Structure 1
Amino acid sequence: MAVVAPAQAASGSTAGAPHVLVVPYPAQGHMQPLLHLASLLAARGLRLTVVVPTPATARLLAPLLAEHPSSVRPLAFPSAADHDTSGPTSVGADFHAHAAALRGPLGEWLRSRAARPDSGDGETGRVVAVISDFFCGWTQPLAAEAGVPRLVFAPSGVLATAATHSLFRRMPRPPVGDPGRGYAVSFPALPGAPAFPWRQISRMYRTYVEGGGGEHSEAIKDNYLWNLESAAFVCNTCHPIEGKYLDAQPLEDLAGKRAWAVGSVAPPPESKGEDDPASDVTAWLDAFPDSSVAYVGFGTMMVPPPPHAAALASALERSGTPFVWAAAATTLPDEFEERAAAAGTGLVLRGWAPQVAALRHRAVGCFVTHCGWNSVMESSAAGVPMLAWPMAADQFFNARLVVEEACVAVAASWGGFGVVPDAEDLARALTEVLGEAGAGMRARAKELALMVAEAVGEGGSSRRELDGLVEELRELGSLG
């Protein structure tokens, strides 16, 4: 077995510390929060080996390795080079290929490290636990065979994580003859027994039930069922946002396993002065009054279809809302960019966008978002109300949290990809969030931000959960 890992000497400070294997899923929205968690664990004295899932994702590990050179080691397998899933993925064939490329060599590596005595060396020392992304359920049987516990890292909130696992555990489906138009899936084991229309249920699950995914759908089902065999879940969430579900533990839909709420795992933003790549955007925002600008961003993997983008563009112009749009590959209406630039009321960004810095700018008063979990956490931490526009995956669960429970968002549309909202309705929603009618919502968003900051601060709920997780890993290390 060929393994690629640069030689690094373990420092005395980590000798004898528990050694944990970390396995990310190769999509940026999944990798980044797990690497942030890895940094928090390393800062608390744990030794980590972090799998490099594909060559293209190696750059994402660079900051972690630079910050913790003596306690974090990368582990790359040449077999993964032929299965690069680091671009926008559909969690189908790419999902299957990722597992196929790594399962054999990683299993061999784990068995050899789990069986040997602990040498105190991060490269050869005994592995006491595996922490892997919830799309890496295939690591559960590897960990079980090696005799070590596996903890599932959920980059989503606990509501979405529990509901998605519930689907594959209970297998609800529309009645025979009903294509799902009038069918709603209820989750009776969750607090409040929430229900969601069939079209808002994850496409992964609907594809499985409707029989269109073949072996890839079977692999996804196996993934979630393996997760339910794990020792625990580690969720990038916090009590201020999801206390209703965290306080209801143990959750039947997570097989009664403990869910550690350690979020937000992202480090606090740092200003880099004139060298800050966000400075051009923040300088542009400086010209606007407080809470007057809409920041528009649909994440790294979500591209709104042209009709949806056109409806939003029209709404921004009709309402006269100043905006920053992280458009990436989004197709915008002809001359929309030029008109906004000429009027000085809109800034369209292609490529990287400084979302965290923009959301924390005083001028931004609304975040038009697909409600991906990372975006929800960033907006909550920044104290910015949302115009929620869920499209797929876990986003409808997340939108329900911020619109109906936290009351820090207004729904732009519940129709996902299948429904193009009316531009006039979107314009009214923008005006509601940014205008006088949104004052109460803005106040609630600021209160939520304070609570989120307290949660990750000294003595806060997320800090206590993180410390408890570390103590559990240390206890596992002492057993060997």
Structure 2
Amino acid sequence: MMPCAAPRSQQHNRARKQQLIVSSASTTTATMTSQGQSATLGRGDAENDAGGSKAAHFVFVPLREQGHLIPAVDTALLLATHGAVCTIVAPPSTAALVRPTVDSARRSGLQVRLAEFPLDYATAGLPEGADDGDSIPPMQMWNYYRAMALLRAPIESYLRAHAPYPTCVVSDFVHPWTTELAANLGVPRLTFFSMCTFGLLCQHNLERFHAWDGVEDPNEPVVVPGLGRRFEVTRAQAPGFFRGIPIPCWEEFADYVERARAEADGVIVNTFQEMEPEYVAGYAAARKMKVWTVGPVSTYHQRRTTLASTLASRGLRTSAIDPEECRRWLDGRAPGSVVYVSFGSISQADPKQVVELGLGLEASGHPFVWMLRNADGYHEAVRGFLRELEARVAGRGLLVRGWAPQLLVLSHDAVGGFVTHCGWNSTLEAVAAGLPVVTWPHFTDQFLNEKMAVEVLGIGVSVGVTEPLTYQAVAKEIVVGRGVVEAAVRSVMGDGEEAEGRRRRARALAAMARAAAQPGGSSHANLLDLVERFQPGAAGGAAASEV
């Protein structure tokens, strides 16, 4: 068994990180192992590889949860469209989700690769195949993170043996062990975040300024310091990454994650500069490192006509409804008349909430598409209610029992609003589609994303949930009544001045998102900068750690 405590990184100062970046951008063939001994870097036949030694080679180490995995893969694909070589490393269960998208990209000529590494379940104390479902059980997450950390050595061996040699590691922030991977390879490491910089800065400032000191009640609001505007949040809503779990291992892991984040050579974020410029600048200044905003990365699927079919399959899961059937259903509805409802890949409404949500949608009078991720998992009374509801709203309501082609739905002209759990992936897809949202957060950063949508961007209406609903030690019955659901949907979809104002702001944001992704836009420029900065021999490599 691996020890509870995570090992400390070997990179403890900015000078050392700049040295690594310089060495990765040169022809150096040696680096230092974590024990400080010289090691030869086998670059293989990199000169003869299709990518050549002149192309930047990004190695992506994503997290398997869809809110993390989907934007990480999309970012790799976007970098590949600008000439980079991208390798995505993952265990088999994650690779299976990614493979169709990667294969499609390869057929279009992009240099993107997928490398599988089996997990050592036994050594990590993880039940065989525990990572093969829709989500890993919460009680097994610690073991899963340990199993992923055990992949460092085989990934390193693979990267040394297969050309071209990597020039940068891009890892999800929950993989702090990639600090050692990048250091051993002698290349820089960037942290990847699938959340907005507003949320990142809130979390950072709450810890940096010790905002929770002396606050005993987890539901007592405090003002987030250092933002220039007044935003209140409770500790239950923003405990910090992996904080607040009453198990010592998690607190140690949280410290390990924070050290790795502080020692990174830069940050890639799925957002765009024009939407939150003050928070992008604020986070870069607080972290004293470069922040590359590259979003919305979902635009990859919308602007590459050769891969137009991926618009329907971006969720990495097989849709429970034929995408063409879904498209035809939407084609028969008036523009802006349909509300889409989804709580993402992890959160799920409890039985009572399903009934209240369904009745509220029915009472709203608006056509709706409702994704019920695990509808068959409810008891017969709830399944019976859903059948009866479906019969009553036939022709007006479309219930999808399983995964829905979300990006396709949100991109359709018939859709005018989105009831969302406020995962950042979904929130940013709504922004890119120009849609106002009904906000219904369930856990962690979703409460901060709600504030972003409602208080910063002015495109959201909250249902009033103030306590986490998911990953709680004791289940809480927090039911949003049918009347609240109906009122929120009517507010977002209505014709009043407030509703029109939200729609105007949402459309303006969508225009900014499109501009950011196009040549001359901020996200497009940042992608080009990444590809240029991290190519072999790039003179500007050392500047990656500069603000």
Q: TM-score range by the shorter chain?
A: 0.7 to 0.9
| 1:390 match | 441
Cα distance in 2, alignment partners of residues 384 and 156 from structure 1:
18
Correspondence 1:322-341 to 2 at 5 A: 322-330=367-375, 331=378, 332=382, 334-341=384-391
State whether structure 2 residue 57 is matched by structure 1 residue 19. Answer: yes
| 2:166 match | 127
The structural deviation recorded for 1:151 is: 0.1
Q: Which amino acid aligns with 2:341?
A: V
Q: Deviations over 1:120-170 (max 9, x none)?
A: xx8144322211111112212332344321100101111223333455556
Runs of 5+ in structure 2 lacking a partner?
1-44, 122-127, 314-321, 470-475, 543-547
Given candidates 510, 529, 538, the residue that maps to 1:449 is 510
More deviation, 397-406/145-154? 145-154
Contact 2:46–2:53, Cα closer than 8 Å, also in 1: no
After TM superposition, what 4+ stretches of structure 1 lie above 6 angstroms from structure 2? 7-10
Q: Give me the identity figure in percent.
A: 29
| 1:196 match | 233
Q: Which amino acid aligns with 2:535?
A: R
- SS of structure 2 residue aligned to 1:325: strand
Cα distance in 1, alignment partners of residues 119 and 516 from structure 2:
41
State whether structure 2 residue 299 is matched by structure 1 residue 261. Answer: no
The change in CA–CA distance for 1:79 and 1:424 in structure 2 (over 3 A counts) is closer
Q: Which amino acid aligns with 1:377?
A: L
Q: TM-score, normalised by structure 2?
A: 0.76
Q: Which amino acid aligns with 1:162?
A: L
Given candidates 459, 464, 467, the residue that maps to 1:413 is 464
State whether structure 2 residue 212 is matched by structure 1 residue 179. Answer: no
State whether structure 2 residue 430 is matched by structure 1 residue 379. Answer: yes
More deviation, 146-155/408-417? 408-417
Q: Which amino acid aligns with 1:188?
A: P
The structural deviation recorded for 1:462 is: 0.9
Cα distance in 2, alignment partners of residues 26 and 284 from structure 1:
31
Instruction: Tell me: higher relative CO, structure 1 or 2? Use CA pairs within 8 A at least 6 residues apart.
Output: 2
| 2:250 match | 216
Q: Which amino acid aligns with 2:328?
A: A
Q: Which amino acid aligns with 2:248?
A: G
Given candidates 512, 522, 525, the residue that maps to 1:461 is 522
Contact 1:93–1:216, Cα closer than 8 Å, also in 2: no
Q: Which amino acid aligns with 2:416?
A: G
- SS of structure 1 residue aligned to 2:212: coil
| 1:119 match | none
Q: Which amino acid aligns with 2:431?
A: S
The change in CA–CA distance for 1:202 and 1:282 in structure 2 (over 3 A counts) is farther
Across the two proteins, how many residue pairs are aligned to each other? 459
The change in CA–CA distance for 1:64 and 1:101 in structure 2 (over 3 A counts) is same
The structural deviation recorded for 1:221 is: 3.3
- SS of structure 1 residue aligned to 2:182: helix
| 1:435 match | 494
Correspondence 1:62-461 to 2 at 5 A: 62-68=100-106, 71-80=111-120, 82=128, 84-85=130-131, 87-89=133-135, 94-107=140-153, 109-110=155-156, 123-166=162-205, 172-173=211-212, 175=214, 178-182=216-220, 184-192=221-229, 194-202=231-239, 205-208=242-245, 212-248=246-282, 250-252=284-286, 255-266=287-298, 267-269=300-302, 277-330=322-375, 331=378, 332=382, 334-344=384-394, 345-416=396-467, 417=469, 418=476, 419-437=478-496, 438-461=499-522
Cα distance in 2, alignment partners of residues 46 and 38 from structure 1:
9
The change in CA–CA distance for 1:87 and 1:193 in structure 2 (over 3 A counts) is farther
- SS of structure 1 residue aligned to 2:274: helix
The structural deviation recorded for 1:444 is: 1.9
Q: For the aligned residues, what is the CA RMSD?
A: 3.1
Given candidates 528, 535, 547, the residue that maps to 1:474 is 535
| 2:96 match | 58
Contact 2:120–2:150, Cα closer than 8 Å, also in 1: no
